[in-house]
C-alpha cells in the first residue's frame, strides 16, 4: 500500500512523496519527493496521461471485441486482451491512488458541496 501524506494543521495535506506511475524492476512502487514542479513530476504527469489514454483505447477495442456482432476471437486473442486489460486497470488504479494522495483533505464539516 502507498504511503500516506502527512496532514498539516487545518486539514490540508503536506507535500510528501508522490507515487510515480512506474515501478522498480522488482515491481516495488517508486516515489518522488516533490513540490509538484520539475522535470520528473512533469514526466510522471505525461506518463499518467499516456497510460490513461491507452487504457481508453484498449477499452474501446475490448467493447468492440465482445459486441454481439463481433468476430469470435481465439483463446490466445482473448488471453492477450485480458492481460492488456489487467495492465490498464493496474495503471489506472495507480494513477487514482497517486492523485488521491495529493488531494487536500476536506475541512471539518465540509461535505464536498453535498447537502444533508
Question: What ranges do the domains of the chain cover?
Answer: 17-99
Range with the poorest average pLDDT among 8-12, 52-56, 89-93, 110-114: 8-12
pLDDT score recorded for residue 37: 87
Tens-digit pLDDT profile for residues 26-62: 999 999 998 888 999 999 999 999 999 999 999 999 9
Nearest 5°: phi and psi at 114? -90, 145
Q: What is the per-residue pLDDT for 6?
A: 37
- For the chain, percent of residues with pLDDT exceeding 90: 69
Higher pLDDT, 39 or 9: 39
Amino acid at each position: 500500500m502507498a504511503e500516506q501524506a502527512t496532514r498539516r494543521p487545518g486539514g490540508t495535506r503536506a507535500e510528501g512523496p508522490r507515487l510515480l506511475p512506474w515501478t522498480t524492476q522488482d515491481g516495488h512502487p517508486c516515489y518522488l519527493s516533490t513540490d509538484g514542479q520539475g522535470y520528473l513530476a512533469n514526466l510522471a504527469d505525461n506518463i499518467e496521461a499516456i497510460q490513461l489514454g491507452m487504457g481508453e483505447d484498449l477499452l474501446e477495442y475490448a467493447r468492440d471485441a465482445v459486441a454481439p456482432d463481433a468476430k469470435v476471437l481465439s483463446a490466445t486473442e482473448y488471453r492477450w486482451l485480458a492481460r492488456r486489460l489487467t495492465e490498464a486497470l493496474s495503471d489506472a488504479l495507480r494513477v487514482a491512488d497517486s492523485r488521491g494522495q495529493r488531494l487536500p483533505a476536506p475541512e471539518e464539516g465540509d461535505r464536498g458541496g453535498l447537502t444533508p
